[in-house]
Amino acid sequence: MPVPKPNHSDKRLTTPARPVGNALPRFAITFGVCLLAGFGALFLPAVQAVDENVTKSLVQVAHSLIHVCGGSAFAAGAILWAPNGFGVEMKDGCNAANVTILFWAALIAFPATKRMKIFGGLIGGLLIQVVNLLRFISLFYLGQYSTSLFDFAHIYLWEILIILDTVVIFWWWVTWVNRGTAAANPQISGA
């Protein structure tokens, strides 16, 4: 999917001049509210049902990827089994829903056009899921090899990588948005 380039003449893509004085508190408040609303929604039964199905689908995708790459695994619901009996279950919260909500909350709070937010939300959400899938598959294999390596990767390595991944995606998106803003309103932005 080609990245749409911010364009002077494209009023839909370029952000309007920002009232700088209000931007900081508005971002902070909107980010907090969206974060609370998003995490709160995860407790709704309807959302939980969707969340559960997404989790199972991610396990199926992991299973298919392993199979396509020549590996062996059995998917049973949210559990991925190895032929030797080792199994990893993707529980609630393991599907990166909370990270995606956090990322989306920041996107919604940051001043940009709807189109930029939708684009960033889709691409960013997809990238977060891809990295989380890699995390799940790597843990599936590490767990079969060494429990201590599994624990290290799980608790430290992937924790840092997921944080970095999300921050870098958000940073990339903010830079892209600010370039569009600077191009449209050169007098107010130094970005």
Q: Which residues bind other proteins (CB under 8 A)?
A: 18, 20-21, 23-24, 27-28, 31, 35, 67, 72, 74, 76, 79, 81, 83-96, 98-99, 102-103, 105-106, 109-111, 132, 135-136, 139, 143, 150, 154-155, 158-159, 162-163, 166-167, 170-171, 174-175, 178, 189-191
- Smallest distance, other proteins to C-beta of residue 43, A: 15
Q: How far apart are CA 28 and CA 109, in angstroms?
A: 7
User: How near is the Cβ of 13 to other proteins at its closest, in Å?
Assistant: 18
Asked if 182 contacts 189 with a C-beta cutoff of 8 angstroms, the reply is: yes
158 φ, ψ to 5°?
Answer: -70, -25
Q: Which is nearer to other proteins, 7 or 19 (CB)?
A: 19
d(CA 157, CA 147): 14
To the nearest whole angstrom, how small is the minimum distance from the Cβ of residue 122 to other proteins?
18
Closest to 103 measured CA to CA, from 162, 177, 181, 176: 162
Minimum Å gap between C-beta 80 and other proteins is 8
Q: What's the CA gap between 37 and 104, in Å, rounded?
A: 11
Cβ proximity to other proteins: between 20 and 46 the closer is 20
Nearer to other proteins, 57 or 72 (CB): 72
Q: Which is nearer to other proteins, 2 or 186 (CB)?
A: 186
CA dihedral defined by 127, 128, 133, 135, rounded to 10 degrees?
A: 120
